[in-house]
Amino acid sequence: MDENNEAIIIGGTVIEGKVSGDANVRIEGTLRGSVDIKQTLVVAAKGCTEADIKASVVVIEGHHRGDVQASDMIQITPSAKAVANLKAPAIAIEKGAKFCGNIEMSGE
């Protein structure tokens, strides 16, 4: 991830609404609403999202609830707890992750 092109929602911050843009986004706080970005979205280990997400790459390390659509890949790490419908050409749910939802993998 290019650190010079990254927006960070720091811990202790709560955002409600729509986040969109071209930068990478790292969520260490709480986001409720929707995300539509062209780059990478990371829900950090202490981050929490209740949102529908569209991005190129989505990495969930913390808590997430909502639909996730990625044009490249979705990764759910061992520290994650996700209730989601996932759609991407590549999806990785790592050992130890908590996941409940549906998965759709396609080349589109």
Cα dihedral sign for 58, 9, 34, 32?
positive
Cα dihedral sign for 69, 86, 80, 33?
positive
Domain residues for the domain of 43 are 3-105
Phi, psi of 87 (to 5 degrees): -140, 115
Q: pLDDT, tens digit, for every residue of 50-106?
A: 999 999 999 999 999 999 999 999 999 999 999 999 999 999 999 999 999 999 997
From the list 80, 36, 42, 83, the residue with the least C-alpha distance to 55 is: 36
Q: What is the total residue count of the chain?
A: 108
Q: Is the pLDDT of residue 26 over 90?
A: yes
**pLDDT on residue 106:** 75
Q: Is the pLDDT of residue 46 over 50?
A: yes
Looking at the structure of the chain, the number of domains it has is: 1
Q: Is the pTM of this model over 0.95?
A: no
Q: Is the pLDDT of residue 1 over 60?
A: no
